[in-house]
Amino acid sequence: MFNVSLSSLRTAQDVIRLVIRPLAWAREFSFMPSFIRSSPLSIPLSISRALCVGALALTTACESTPRASDASVDPARAAVAASENPPAAASAPATDGRTALIWVNGMGCPLCANNVDSQLKKVPGVEDVKINLGTGIVNVRLSSSGPSTQAQLEQAIDRTGFTLVRIQMPTDSKSAGGGA
Protein backbone atom coordinates (compact mmCIF):
# COMPACT_ATOMS: atom_id res chain seq x y z
CA MET A 1 0.00 0.00 0.00
CA PHE A 2 2.81 2.37 0.83
CA ASN A 3 5.13 1.12 -1.83
CA VAL A 4 5.88 4.53 -3.33
CA SER A 5 9.31 5.07 -4.88
CA LEU A 6 11.16 8.38 -4.51
CA SER A 7 11.15 8.93 -8.20
CA SER A 8 7.43 8.91 -8.33
CA LEU A 9 7.33 11.90 -5.98
CA ARG A 10 8.44 14.18 -8.76
CA THR A 11 4.94 14.88 -9.81
CA ALA A 12 2.16 16.49 -7.86
CA GLN A 13 0.03 13.54 -8.66
CA ASP A 14 2.11 11.21 -6.59
CA VAL A 15 2.52 13.64 -3.74
CA ILE A 16 -1.21 13.94 -3.39
CA ARG A 17 -1.57 10.26 -3.80
CA LEU A 18 0.88 9.73 -0.96
CA VAL A 19 -1.30 11.85 1.31
CA ILE A 20 -4.60 10.46 0.39
CA ARG A 21 -3.71 6.81 0.56
CA PRO A 22 -2.89 6.56 4.28
CA LEU A 23 -5.91 8.68 5.10
CA ALA A 24 -8.18 6.42 3.15
CA TRP A 25 -6.47 3.42 4.62
CA ALA A 26 -6.83 4.71 8.17
CA ARG A 27 -10.47 5.43 7.62
CA GLU A 28 -11.15 1.94 6.44
CA PHE A 29 -8.89 0.21 8.91
CA SER A 30 -10.48 1.31 12.14
CA PHE A 31 -12.95 -0.98 13.84
CA MET A 32 -14.67 2.00 15.37
CA PRO A 33 -18.03 3.18 14.11
CA SER A 34 -17.98 5.31 11.04
CA PHE A 35 -18.72 8.63 12.65
CA ILE A 36 -15.84 8.22 15.10
CA ARG A 37 -13.28 7.18 12.58
CA SER A 38 -14.42 9.57 9.92
CA SER A 39 -14.66 12.67 12.06
CA PRO A 40 -10.97 13.39 12.60
CA LEU A 41 -10.13 12.30 9.11
CA SER A 42 -12.99 13.62 7.12
CA ILE A 43 -11.66 17.16 6.74
CA PRO A 44 -8.12 16.33 5.59
CA LEU A 45 -9.45 13.51 3.52
CA SER A 46 -11.97 15.74 1.84
CA ILE A 47 -9.34 18.36 1.21
CA SER A 48 -7.00 15.77 -0.17
CA ARG A 49 -9.65 14.36 -2.39
CA ALA A 50 -10.54 17.84 -3.62
CA LEU A 51 -6.90 18.56 -4.34
CA CYS A 52 -6.63 15.28 -6.06
CA VAL A 53 -9.60 15.99 -8.23
CA GLY A 54 -8.40 19.48 -9.01
CA ALA A 55 -4.79 18.74 -9.66
CA LEU A 56 -5.44 15.64 -11.57
CA ALA A 57 -8.39 16.72 -13.53
CA LEU A 58 -6.65 15.82 -16.69
CA THR A 59 -5.59 12.47 -15.48
CA THR A 60 -7.16 9.49 -13.86
CA ALA A 61 -4.93 9.51 -10.83
CA CYS A 62 -7.74 9.63 -8.35
CA GLU A 63 -9.01 6.38 -9.65
CA SER A 64 -5.90 4.72 -8.38
CA THR A 65 -6.75 5.29 -4.71
CA PRO A 66 -9.19 2.54 -4.09
CA ARG A 67 -11.18 2.07 -0.94
CA ALA A 68 -11.53 -1.33 0.58
CA SER A 69 -15.16 -1.51 -0.35
CA ASP A 70 -14.62 -0.65 -4.00
CA ALA A 71 -15.52 -3.14 -6.61
CA SER A 72 -11.91 -3.46 -7.61
CA VAL A 73 -11.17 -4.89 -4.20
CA ASP A 74 -14.09 -7.19 -3.73
CA PRO A 75 -16.44 -7.70 -6.63
CA ALA A 76 -18.77 -9.79 -4.52
CA ARG A 77 -19.27 -7.00 -2.03
CA ALA A 78 -19.61 -4.35 -4.64
CA ALA A 79 -22.29 -6.26 -6.39
CA VAL A 80 -24.68 -6.08 -3.48
CA ALA A 81 -26.61 -2.97 -2.71
CA ALA A 82 -25.44 -0.82 0.16
CA SER A 83 -28.92 0.02 1.28
CA GLU A 84 -30.06 -0.99 4.75
CA ASN A 85 -32.74 -3.46 3.81
CA PRO A 86 -32.74 -4.42 0.17
CA PRO A 87 -35.03 -7.17 -1.02
CA ALA A 88 -33.89 -10.39 0.53
CA ALA A 89 -33.89 -12.19 -2.78
CA ALA A 90 -31.67 -9.65 -4.49
CA SER A 91 -29.84 -10.85 -7.52
CA ALA A 92 -26.88 -12.94 -6.65
CA PRO A 93 -23.47 -11.34 -6.89
CA ALA A 94 -20.91 -13.09 -8.97
CA THR A 95 -18.61 -15.31 -6.99
CA ASP A 96 -15.62 -17.42 -7.63
CA GLY A 97 -15.66 -21.18 -7.49
CA ARG A 98 -15.10 -21.40 -3.74
CA THR A 99 -17.44 -18.86 -2.22
CA ALA A 100 -20.93 -19.71 -1.11
CA LEU A 101 -23.44 -16.94 -0.56
CA ILE A 102 -26.04 -17.15 2.17
CA TRP A 103 -28.91 -14.71 2.58
CA VAL A 104 -29.91 -14.40 6.23
CA ASN A 105 -32.65 -12.26 7.75
CA GLY A 106 -32.84 -10.93 11.28
CA MET A 107 -29.17 -10.17 12.00
CA GLY A 108 -29.74 -6.84 13.66
CA CYS A 109 -26.36 -6.20 15.22
CA PRO A 110 -22.64 -6.99 15.20
CA LEU A 111 -23.09 -9.61 17.92
CA CYS A 112 -25.69 -11.29 15.74
CA ALA A 113 -23.16 -11.38 12.94
CA ASN A 114 -20.66 -12.92 15.33
CA ASN A 115 -23.16 -15.66 16.11
CA VAL A 116 -23.40 -16.51 12.43
CA ASP A 117 -19.66 -16.24 11.96
CA SER A 118 -18.84 -18.57 14.86
CA GLN A 119 -21.39 -21.19 13.85
CA LEU A 120 -20.25 -21.26 10.23
CA LYS A 121 -16.60 -21.51 11.18
CA LYS A 122 -17.39 -24.71 13.07
CA VAL A 123 -18.43 -26.33 9.81
CA PRO A 124 -15.66 -28.44 8.31
CA GLY A 125 -14.48 -26.97 5.06
CA VAL A 126 -15.24 -23.35 5.88
CA GLU A 127 -12.12 -21.21 5.63
CA ASP A 128 -13.47 -17.70 6.08
CA VAL A 129 -16.72 -15.85 6.66
CA LYS A 130 -17.54 -12.26 5.78
CA ILE A 131 -20.87 -10.74 6.73
CA ASN A 132 -22.61 -7.67 5.43
CA LEU A 133 -25.35 -6.73 7.86
CA GLY A 134 -26.74 -4.18 5.43
CA THR A 135 -27.63 -6.77 2.85
CA GLY A 136 -27.80 -9.83 5.04
CA ILE A 137 -25.44 -11.64 2.71
CA VAL A 138 -22.88 -13.96 4.23
CA ASN A 139 -19.84 -14.78 2.09
CA VAL A 140 -18.50 -18.20 3.01
CA ARG A 141 -15.10 -19.10 1.65
CA LEU A 142 -14.90 -22.86 1.28
CA SER A 143 -11.91 -25.10 1.23
CA SER A 144 -10.93 -26.45 -2.13
CA SER A 145 -9.98 -29.81 -0.69
CA GLY A 146 -13.05 -30.65 1.35
CA PRO A 147 -15.79 -28.09 0.84
CA SER A 148 -18.84 -27.97 3.04
CA THR A 149 -22.18 -29.18 1.85
CA GLN A 150 -25.26 -27.04 1.59
CA ALA A 151 -26.92 -29.05 4.33
CA GLN A 152 -24.05 -28.31 6.70
CA LEU A 153 -24.32 -24.60 6.03
CA GLU A 154 -28.09 -24.65 6.48
CA GLN A 155 -27.71 -26.44 9.79
CA ALA A 156 -25.18 -23.89 10.97
CA ILE A 157 -27.52 -21.03 10.19
CA ASP A 158 -30.34 -22.84 11.91
CA ARG A 159 -28.29 -23.00 15.09
CA THR A 160 -27.94 -19.22 15.12
CA GLY A 161 -31.67 -18.67 15.43
CA PHE A 162 -31.83 -16.38 12.41
CA THR A 163 -33.86 -16.99 9.28
CA LEU A 164 -32.18 -18.58 6.32
CA VAL A 165 -33.54 -17.11 3.13
CA ARG A 166 -31.39 -18.60 0.45
CA ILE A 167 -28.09 -20.32 -0.23
CA GLN A 168 -26.06 -20.18 -3.38
CA MET A 169 -23.34 -22.77 -3.46
CA PRO A 170 -20.32 -22.09 -5.64
CA THR A 171 -20.78 -25.11 -7.81
CA ASP A 172 -24.52 -24.78 -8.09
CA SER A 173 -26.00 -21.77 -9.77
CA LYS A 174 -29.45 -22.74 -8.56
CA SER A 175 -30.42 -21.40 -5.19
CA ALA A 176 -32.12 -23.36 -2.51
CA GLY A 177 -34.36 -21.75 0.06
CA GLY A 178 -35.45 -22.78 3.49
CA GLY A 179 -36.51 -21.31 6.76
CA ALA A 180 -34.41 -21.71 9.84
Partner 1 sequence: MIEAVILRGRSRVRSVRQRALGLALVMLAALAAAPDSHAQTPVNGFGAMQPSVGHFTVHSMVNYRQFDGDETTQERDIRQVSIATQVSYALLSNLAVTLDVPVLFNHLSRSAVATGDSATGIGDMSLLVKWRPWQNDTGPTDTMRLVLVGGIQMPGGTETYWDSTGEEWNPLFGAIFSMVRGRHGVNADVIYELNTGGHSRPDGFRYDASYLYRLSPAEYGAESSGAAIYAVAELNGLYETNGNHQLFLAPGVMYEATWWTVDATVMIPLAQDLKDRPETEIAFGVGLRLSF
What is the three-class DSSP state of 125? Answer: coil
Contact 89, 166 (CB under 8 A): yes
Q: Which is nearer to partner 1, 2 or 35 (CB)?
A: 35
Cα 112-102-78 angle, rounded to 5 deg: 95
| Smallest separation, CB 10 to partner 1 (Å) | 33
What span, in angstroms and rounded, lies between the C-alpha atoms of 143 and 128? 9
Q: Which is nearer to partner 1, 40 or 110 (CB)?
A: 110
| Smallest separation, CB 60 to partner 1 (Å) | 24
Q: Which is nearer to partner 1, 59 or 114 (CB)?
A: 114
The strands making up 126-132's β-sheet, listed across from edge to edge, are 126-132, 137-142, 99-105, 163-168, 175-176
| Smallest separation, CB 55 to partner 1 (Å) | 27
Tell me which residues touch partner 1 (CB under 8 A).
Answer: 28, 31-36, 68-69, 74, 77, 80, 82-86, 88, 104-119, 130-137, 158-163, 180
Q: Which is nearer to partner 1, 76 or 142 (CB)?
A: 76
